Chain A
Amino acid sequence: MEDKNILELERRFQEKIDNDIKIEPNDWMPDDYRQTLIRQISQHAHSEIVGMLPEGNWITRAPNLRRKAVLLAKVQDEAGHGLYLYSAAETLGADREETIDDLHSGKAKYSSIFNYPTLSWADMGAIGWLVDGAAIMNQVPLCRCSYGPYARAMVRVCKEESFHQRQGFEIIAHLAQGTPAQKEMAQDALNRFWWPALMMFGPNDAESKHTVQSMNWKIKRSTNDELRQLFVDVTVPQAEMIGLTIPDKDLKLNKETGHYETGEINWAEFWEVVKGNGPCNKERVDARRKAKEDGLWVREAASAFAEKRKNK
């Protein structure tokens, strides 16, 4: 009887998904669907939060006040995106404190791109242009994700991200048209961020263990390789336009398909970074832990103040 019930609930659930009816927090859902979403949404939230660090590194050293105000606004947006996502994860029953502890203990992952260092101002350009550009490719289809709160959070995020990409492109385009030394800085940033940006889309479809189920549940609406291809196709002409060279000697346009073909991605490097052995993994998690510890007195003060106000 019980099993039959579950089967019927699962059938109705999948029927809703197939008819593009969104799933909302109080609706019945299979446990795997819930767990998959909690994993994906919290990883996404962590990526936004950790993503503030490489850019935060340059706020005090921005070349002028305009660039500084813009970068500050962008980093603040990322904090906001992390918060939208943590609260979306909470609607599934995830405990916020535990979610954050999982990041700090190394149990939870975040996008491996943020484990690369930001060595020059041009990296702010490369991150906005390539990293936010790749993130947008990933996030736009998520606005149609089957889980309502995640999809709604993504709509807000995507609206805000488009400024992120443009500000980055403006930085790098400006440098690319500057002095030879500035152009070299821009090219160097592209050289270092191009391949990690391609890795942001995740393993090839054949290697991606979650893709099939996530596509059936409409948590994921396009495969890793499809999105990566889309990103390459739009980005290569942008690089050409500003006079920079994509660091891939095998890159060529296939006239028949109209798509660019790239060289082989270094997946060994990707997996090393995912496993925690990237250039900045330890630094990033340490910085998050320190931020939490250093902020303890502020949180305690806020609680004490709220208590005092309540008793007045």
Chain B
Amino acid sequence: MSKKEWPLWEVFIRSKQGLNHKHVGSLRAADSTMAIENARDVYTRRSEGISIWVIESNNVFANDSSESDALFEPADSKIYRHPTFYDVPDGISHM
């Protein structure tokens, strides 16, 4: 038993209707149902949530952080994707 640890779950909470679920932390539990019950006790003791998602941590895939500069670089050079790139003459409104 001692060597067979319960899986780790990442916990996401929707704090109120209209907002997205947000990662709040992780916990260990034997299965998804118990993970949700534990998440209720660990992460919503003060009504912080109205909806809980749990995802087994093994199923979360991330980019390699040591290569994130290269990964995100293409966006850095495209400032024309932002509205502030463009000149709008004085007097033009609703734009």
Instruction: Name A's B-contacting residues (CB within 8 A).
Output: 24, 26-28, 73, 76-77, 80, 83-84, 87-88, 90-91, 96-97, 149, 152-153, 160, 296, 299-300, 302-303, 305-306, 309-310
> Chain B residues near A303 (CB, 8 Å)?
1, 4, 6, 30
A97-B2, A97-B5 are known contacts. Are A309 and B33 too (CB-CB below 8 A)?
Answer: yes
- In the complex, are the beta carbons of A76 and B31 less than 8 A apart? no
**From residue A117, how far is it (CB to closest CB) to chain B in Å?**
28
Number of B positions contacting A (CB below 8 A)? 24
- In the complex, are the beta carbons of B45 and A76 less than 8 A apart? yes
- In the complex, are the beta carbons of B25 and A302 less than 8 A apart? no
Contact with A along B19-35 (1 / 0, CB 8 A): 00000011111110110
Beyond contacts A76-B45, A90-B26, A302-B29: 7 other A-B pairs, Cβ-Cβ < 8 A, are A77-B45, A80-B42, A83-B27, A88-B25, A296-B1, A300-B1, A305-B30
> Chain A residues near B4 (CB, 8 Å)?
303
> Chain B residues near A309 (CB, 8 Å)?
31, 33
With an 8 A cutoff between CB atoms, is B59 at the interface? no
B26: contacting residue among A73, A87, A299, CB under 8 A: A87
State in angstroms the CA–CA spacing of A160 and B47 once bound together.
13
With an 8 A cutoff between CB atoms, is B87 at the interface? no
- In the complex, are the beta carbons of B46 and A160 less than 8 A apart? yes
**From residue B9, how far is it (CB to closest CB) to chain A in Å?**
10
A299: contacting residue among B1, B27, B46, CB under 8 A: B1
- In the complex, are the beta carbons of A306 and B27 less than 8 A apart? no
State in angstroms the CA–CA spacing of A152 and B62 once bound together.
20
> Chain A residues near B31 (CB, 8 Å)?
305-306, 309-310
- In the complex, are the beta carbons of B45 and A28 less than 8 A apart? no
- In the complex, are the beta carbons of B1 and A83 less than 8 A apart? no
With an 8 A cutoff between CB atoms, is B84 at the interface? no
